[in-house]
A and B are shown apart, each in its own frame.
Chain A
Amino acid sequence: MATCSRGSHNSIQYSLPSRLVGRGRDFCRLLALTFLFGALCASEGFAQVFSAEVKNVSENFVCQCGCNHQLSGCGMLYCGSANPLRNEIDEMLEAGRSEKEIVGEFVAKYGKIILSAPTGVGFDLVAWTVPVIALMVGLIVVYATIRSWLNRKPILTSSQGKVAFIPKEYQRRLEKELKNLD
């Protein structure tokens, strides 16, 4: 028999003897507990298990609940966006659609906002190319800077245009300081 005990803080504990496991019936108290969950989450729905294939395809999409996560990773409980979309993917996979076809159908139905990353065509291409171009420009700037620094003569002139002279004593001191700091 199932046991029910009341613990501290108004808690209800429920455990099930192993002989009942696997029968799939007569879980009246389990049902009662499920009912409690139902009451807890009445307006929110119930959790579901999805296959690895659904998860893989879901990575192409973003959940629309505002969490900004990929559909595969939305952790919101009873998410009103993630589970229906995952169910849709599940149904399409069962209907024999490929990943590419599912992505195409989702874009046609929900628009490109559903995709988790910009595509490689049209204005979306700008999203991918600009960081690379920026890095290239940065490399050119660094190269040019290094070249100009290499070609620069040591500045020993003061702001007034007089030739500066650094006595050996100071030079030695400077070298020593630099060596110690290194």
Chain B
Amino acid sequence: MQGLLTDIGQFTMLLAFGLSCYALVASLLAGKVGHRRLASTGERAAIAVCGLVTISVISLWYQLVTSNFQLQYVASSSNQAMPWYYKMGALWGGQEGSLLFWCWILTIFSMVTVLIHRNRHPRLMPYVVGVVAMVTTFFLLVNNFIVNPFDAIGVSRAGEAPVLFTPPDGQGLNPLLQYWAMVIHPPILYVGYVGFTIPFAFAIAALITRELDEDWIRTTRRWMMIPWLFLGTGVLLGAMWAYVVLGWGGYWGWDPVENASLMPWLAGTAFLHSVIMQERKGMMKVWNMVLILATFLLCILGTFLTRSGIVSSVHSFAQSPIGPYFSVFLISMTAMSLYFLLSRLDALKSENRLDSVVSRESSFLFNNLVLLATTFAILWGTIFPILSEWVTDEKRTVGAPFFNQVNIPIGLFLLFLTGVGPLLAWRKTSLHSLWKNFSIPVGTAFIAGVLFVAFGMRHFYSTVCLILCVFVLVTIIAEFHRGARARRRQGQSYLQALWTLTFRNTRRYGGYIVHVAMVFLFVGFAGAGFDKEVQQAMVPGQNLEIGHYKLELKEIKSDDNANYSSAATVIQVWKNGKQLTQIEPEQRLYKTSRQPTSEVALYRTLREDLYVVFAGPDQEANKFIIHAYIKPLVAWIWIGGVIFVMGTVICLIPNQYERASEKISLRAEVKSYGNV
């Protein structure tokens, strides 16, 4: 059964490659000659590719769950002792499987796009399908001919053909990946990365066909927001994994792979803001096109960085020699994007003018500048080691001090704009309006600042960040309050008014909720300025004091199961003389990989996390070393993540204005009237 399913999986993957090539050629040709039936066959081929890749994925899952160690991939990323859910997760735990998984998600996106849009955008769709098929074909090419997850293990003896070999057990999934968030983090992140292919395809299709009206941008905005939501959630889940699993007390280390996931998210954020300018004012058309193209290209660049091993990264488990293929693909996609963009510049001219510098329009420009500056700074820091080695022939490292020094001021300015932007009116903001909108937020932030300093806050960036958080939060609350107050006049209760307000203009108020999430995230980041840390060698019965906590080492426990051996320290936590809880930081040694890992113990509150790591025994003194940290406000980051998801989901719900604007395009009407 295993052998049969391996053959089926391999065959369907190969067939999918063939059909994907057909979808690519047929769709682009159909778009060129305007042959609807040919385009239709291309669409069907794209749907069939999805079905075939699904069979391949199911087949590989079966091999993983049934531990078919004859396959190289199964043997290197799973073992018999792993629970079934980690075996399922091993699909994206290694290079070959994760690329197949990536391809699978792409084909699902492709199928959904075809099913939703084939009748709505008859001129665009052949090119959309063609571009998506181009990306799919590349991934299937890599999967079929370079890193095939169905490759068997062969032992070659001198002068003889390789003989198939089945090891008794596999090497197991990287122990660092054996954590619940790691089972869902990569799929969510991949949905984000892969999803940006669809807006990219629509952008290229719109450029080719010159159908650069409101319709395509509205469609693209929705397709942009879905991967943006998933990528953002994936990034936060990755941060949570780093915080809980890596045991260094932080959630963000500016690792190249972390940076690679953040860059497209930032570019996508810039687009989701500037697209409002295009929809409302017909401005920034070229810029929006650049952002869509750049977001996708940054995703490919991120994948290239993750998997090529070109930069040193903690994510080295996913490296392999596929770098050259990705670099060729990246260069081709960039060249194609630039060609179509530059050749269609005449069709992307802005339709409107700016009435005043102090306006919402200007704030969008600055918002985009700051987001792009951050993206560039991160990209620059990530690739600088390569450039430096190239120029000076000496290796360099660009670590957290560089990224923090460059990005913290930019991030704070962005936070400031988050508060200012929504308070500025479209076209022109009068002095009276400025005073009316800003007096309460600025006043409240000032009072908060005085209080923070009075209560002993001295960390400059953290204090400024918290003051700005107060400012932004008050501006958002004021916006909701103004809207709700207006609705109350119609006889609604306050809560009812808030509800109606939000769901009548989901995009605006959902956006504000996302801004609240950003405030929560920044509050969490600000907490890093007040971290405390204590390391101590202890024997049972001894105490460790950190902040207002006292930790008493009660006992040491050891455990053993098929997957790993472990030793845990049982620690009683006291706060201000009161017994709080018992925590058990642990060390594990995974049997097959012989890799030790740390299981952090956490006592979480809204104010701070008590983060305790069992670092191991001290050889000389026969003591056990405990690292204890107080990490203020970290919980706000995870709460911010939940609010971010809520806000974005609300943004995705079509509201009455969007439905109405889909029915009648006012601008188109005005234009067509002018043409008469």
Contact = CB atoms under 8 A, between A and B. Distances in A.
Interface of A: 7, 9-18, 20-21, 24, 27, 30-31, 33-34, 36-38, 40-41, 43-50, 55, 59, 62, 66-70, 73-75, 77-78, 111-118, 122-124, 126-128, 130-131, 134-135, 138-139, 141-142, 145-146, 149-150, 152-160, 162-167, 170, 173-174, 177-178, 180-182
A135 B370 CA distance: 8
Interface of B: 246-250, 253-256, 280, 283, 312-314, 316, 350-357, 361-362, 365-366, 369, 372-373, 376-377, 380-381, 384, 388, 391-392, 394-402, 405-406, 410, 425-426, 505, 508, 533, 535-537, 539-542, 554-561, 565, 567, 587, 589, 594, 596-598, 613, 615-619, 621-622, 625, 657, 666, 669-671, 673-675
A130 B536 CA distance: 43
A34 B398 contact: no
A41 B128 CA distance: 54
Contact of B539 (A30, A44, A174): A30
Given A11-B557, A12-B558, A135-B373, A149 B353 contact: yes
**Residue from A50, A156, A164 whose CB has the most chain B CB atoms within 10 Å:** A164
B255 A68 contact: yes
Contact of B559 (A9, A43, A77, A149): A9
Nearest to A19: B541
21 contacts: A10-B561, A13-B557, A17-B541, A24-B621, A46-B617, A69-B253, A75-B249, A117-B398, A117-B405, A118-B396, A128-B406, A131-B377, A131-B406, A134-B373, A149-B354, A150-B357, A154-B352, A154-B353, A167-B673, A173-B666, A174-B666
B556 A14 contact: yes
Contacts of B377: 131, 134
Nearest to B565: A40
Contacts, number: 264
B535 A40 contact: no
B366 A142 contact: yes
B670 A75 contact: no
A34 to B, nearest CB: 5
B293 to A, nearest CB: 18
Nearest to B397: A62
B83 to A, nearest CB: 14
A49 B625 contact: yes
A36 B365 contact: no
Contact of A114 (B392, B397, B536, B557): B397
Contacts of B556: 14, 33
B373 A174 contact: no
Contact of A49 (B253, B401, B535): B535
Contacts of A49: 535-537, 618, 625
**Residue from B384, B399, B587 whose CB has the most chain A CB atoms within 10 Å:** B399
Given A116-B400, A182-B426, A152 B536 contact: no
B598 A37 contact: no
B353 A150 contact: yes
Nearest to B384: A127
Task: Please list the 3 inter-chain residue pairs (A to B) with the smallest Cβ-Cβ separation, ordered nearest first.
Answer: A164-B674, A75-B248, A149-B354
A70 B625 contact: no
Contact of B540 (A21, A78, A139, A155): A21
Contacts of A66: 312-314, 316
Given A16-B541, A118-B396, 15 more contacts: A11-B559, A11-B560, A14-B555, A15-B554, A37-B567, A37-B617, A73-B253, A77-B587, A77-B598, A116-B399, A118-B402, A142-B369, A146-B365, A149-B283, A154-B353
B596 A77 contact: yes
Contact of A138 (B369, B399, B557): B369
Contacts of B541: 16-18, 20-21
A48 B625 contact: yes
**Residue from A77, A138, A156 whose CB has the most chain B CB atoms within 10 Å:** A77
A40 B589 contact: yes
B174 to A, nearest CB: 13
